[in-house]
Structure 1
Amino acid sequence: MSIEVGSKLQGKVTGITNFGAFVELPEGITGLVHISEVADNYVKDINEHLKVGDEVEVKVINVEKDGKIGLSIKKAKEREVKEYKPRQARPQRQNRDNRGDQRGGAVKENFEQKMSRFLKDSEERLTSLKRNTESKRGGRGARRG
């Protein structure tokens, strides 16, 4: 039985280090489960999850040319991947800009026209804002009693 990427196997934990656990696979081959592949959440101490002699199901995630085998416990536990269903496209709105109707529909504007419209709208908003806030704070025209 050869070890292939993607296959799920039963193994026995033979050693634990601070960076992962060594798992003996069938036929006496040993692979490494990196600490990041032990559980779905963050693993600070691998000893909280595994101990020597534990039987674990692992998935082969890589086999390097020099014979090193990368294993994953969390990927062996993954649920079936849901089938991808593309979303249905939403119909496009005709006029996304509220001012589209005032200008007679979608009009192509160059940068200068957009900038001048922006400045005009901005000035109108600022004067309106100033008018409303000055009267509430007792600005220029307000009398003090």
Structure 2
Amino acid sequence: MVTGRVARITDFGAFIQFENGEVGLVHISQIAHSYVRNVSDYLQEGQTIEVKVLGRDEKGRLDLSIKELQDAPEEMPRPRMIGRQSPEFENKLRSFLRDAKERGPGEKGGKKRKK
């Protein structure tokens, strides 16, 4: 764990400057366990924060994380389920798929053609 100051906020994360002058990036995906839409909802320039150093990228830049220092939520939020479609829609869809299967590949039109 290292303490640094938020030097700059961007759409994709925040640059953190350390006392020795070195700067690293906390990517937006490493700010919180929940979805982060706007970095400035979580961090402000000049703020002092604690980060974990994940490593260095191929160019020698520091990769940092805030969420790695936090306990993960016990249960991750589940995606909302999409309700069932109306029976009328389901029937139309089944009918469409059945007709498409009867037509076969490459045939066009709503009805099967007779030769």
Asked if Structure 1 and Structure 2 have the same fold, meaning a TM-score greater than 0.5 normalized by the shorter chain, the answer is yes
Higher helix fraction (1 or 2): 1
**2:17 is aligned with 1:17:** no
Counterpart CA distance in 2 for 1:75 and 1:58 is 8
Is there any run of 5+ residues in structure 1 with no aligned partner, and where?
1-7, 80-145
Tell me by how many angstroms 1:68 deviates.
0.6
CA distance in 2, matches of 1:70, 1:76: 14
Q: Which runs of 5+ in 2 are unaligned?
A: 73-115
What is the Cα deviation at residue 26 of structure 1?
2.7
Match of 1:30 among 23, 26, 29: 23
Separation in structure 2 between the aligned mates of residue 70 and residue 47 of structure 1, nearest angstrom: 19
* Matches of 1:44 and 1:65, distance apart in 2: 27
Q: Secondary structure at the match of 1:75?
A: helix
Q: How does 1:1-145 map to 2 (within 5 A)?
A: 8-78=1-71
Distance 2:12 2:64 in 1: 13
Query: Over aligned residue pairs, what C-alpha RMSD do you find?
Result: 1.3
Aligned to 1:98: none
Residues matched between the structures, number = 72
Offset, 1:35: 0.3
Which structure: greater strand fraction? 2
Instruction: Kindly report structure 1 stretches of 4+ aligned residues shifted beyond 4 Å.
Output: none
Q: Supply the distance in 2 between the matched residues of 1:49 and 1:41 (Cα, whole angstroms).
A: 11
Q: 1 or 2 for the larger relative contact order (CA 8 Å, sep ≥6)?
A: 2
Distance change >3 Å, CA 26–CA 76, structure 1 → 2: farther
TM norm structure 2:
0.59
Paired letter, 1:26: E
SS at match of 1:47: helix
SS of aligned partner of 2:20: helix
Please say which structure displays the higher CA radius of gyration: 1
Instruction: Report the alpha carbon displacement of residue 40 of structure 1 after superposing the two structures with TM.
Output: 1.1
TM-superposed CA distance for 1:64, in Å, is 2.4
